């Protein structure tokens, strides 16, 4: 009888303990961290950046772009926010962007600082060299959740660069002047991505001893005795005037041999996805033989 009573009391005590101290539920795994928030509203402060965003198939995120953002054609319909040198901060803020994309050395630092003070995130991209351009495309890809597309695009561009370098003639390199503007005249020199393109295409930059985009006097330009003169788009009238000016110096090899060429500036002056198209165009032009008709575009 006593043993039964002890058994009953033991069971009753166990039930009380279980009721008072229920077993702890197994710890739930930590919640997955939310994925990074990608911007949904973007303003680009240079045409090259507009082209990059579209090349990454993220054009639907654009709510504004700088003046002259005209490629692809759909970009022409975007609201304008001023030029890369003079962005319209009031218009930018009115578009309520999640972020702006800017170019180091082009977008004024004071404009960047002011936008940041107004609560607009600004991502500044380096485009001073070919490698920097490729790295900036990858960076924008990460920012816009388009890393795979960016890697594919950069891979294609690298393949073109490597092919051109592999097929380059090891013979003499023609002396090239890349002329920017007419009055005054500037040139693309050492430390620029255009200089890299010229060298990759098989040319020798006549002003490689100079840095950046210096202004040249007519006397300096003639003294370089370029064998090829490349003039990016300045409008037909301006190009004709520049060519007429060069024709006044028939002792310059490029004038005598008819190797003054008019370029589509968008392929060269916009450090973006179409730079490799510009590279292939340079290869074509530098391989053009001399012609008796001075300054004639092939």
* 74-98 tens-digit pLDDT: 999 999 999 999 999 999 999 999 9
Q: What is the pLDDT of residues 14-45, one digit of tens each?
A: 444 344 444 444 333 343 333 458 999 999 99
CATH topology of domain 169-286: Rossmann fold (3.40.50)
At 39, is the secondary structure helix, strand, or coil?
coil
pLDDT for residue 298: 45
Q: What is the predicted pLDDT for the residue at 292?
A: 65
Domain 42-163 maps to which CATH number in 3.90.1490.10, 3.40.50.1980, 3.40.50.300, 3.40.50.970? Answer: 3.40.50.1980
- Partnered with residue 211 across adjacent β-strands are 190
Task: Return mean pLDDT, the chain.
Answer: 87
Identical topology for domains 42-163 and 169-286: yes
pLDDT of residue 258: 93
Note the helical H segments in the chain. Answer: 2-20, 47-55, 89-94, 109-117, 130-143, 147-167, 193-200, 218-223, 236-246, 253-256, 275-286
Give the strands of the sheet with 62-65, arranged side by side: 62-65, 42-44, 99-103, 121-125
CA dist., res. 164 & res. 170, Å (int): 12
Q: pLDDT value at position 293?
A: 52
Domain coordinates of the chain in residue numbers?
A: 42-163, 169-286
Q: How far is CA 145 from CA 96, 223, 244, 289, 290, in A?
A: 20, 51, 50, 46, 49
Residues in the chain where the model's pLDDT stays below 70: 1-36, 234-236, 292-298
**pLDDT score for 9:** 40
**So what's the pLDDT on residue 174?**
95
């Amino acid at each position: 009888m006593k043993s039964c009573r002890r058994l009953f009391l033991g069971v009753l005590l166990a039930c009380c303990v279980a009721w008072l101290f229920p077993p702890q539920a197994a710890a739930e795994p930590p919640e997955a961290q939310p994925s990074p928030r990608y911007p949904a509203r973007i303003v680009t402060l240079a045409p090259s950046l507009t082209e990059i965003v579209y090349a990454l198939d993220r054009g639907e995120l654009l709510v504004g772009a700088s003046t002259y953002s005209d490629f692809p054609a759909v970009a022409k319909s975007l609201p304008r926010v001023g030029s890369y040198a003079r962005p319209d901060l009031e218009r930018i803020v009115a578009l309520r962007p999640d972020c702006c994309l800017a170019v180091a050395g082009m977008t004024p630092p004071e404009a960047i600082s002011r936008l940041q003070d107004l609560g607009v995130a600004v991502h500044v991209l380096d485009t001073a060299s070919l490698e920097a351009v490729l790295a900036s495309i990858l960076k924008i890809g990460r920012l816009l959740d388009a890393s795979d597309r960016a890697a594919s695009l950069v891979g294609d561009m690298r393949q073109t660069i490597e092919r051109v370098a592999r097929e380059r003639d090891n013979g003499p390199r023609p002396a090239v002047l890349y002329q920017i503007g007419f009055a005054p005249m500037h040139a693309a020199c050492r430390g620029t991505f255009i200089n890299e393109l010229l060298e990759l295409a098989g040319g020798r930059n006549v002003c490689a001893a100079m840095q950046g985009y210096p202004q040249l006097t007519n006397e300096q330009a003639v003294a370089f005795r370029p064998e090829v003169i490349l003039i990016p788009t300045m409008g037909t009238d301006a190009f004709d005037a520049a060519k007429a000016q060069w024709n006044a110096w028939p002792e310059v090899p490029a004038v005598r041999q008819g190797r003054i060429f008019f370029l589509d500036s968008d392929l060269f002056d916009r450090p973006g996805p179409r730079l490799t198209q510009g590279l292939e165009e340079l290869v074509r032009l530098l391989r053009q033989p001399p012609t008796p008709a001075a300054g004639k575009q092939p």
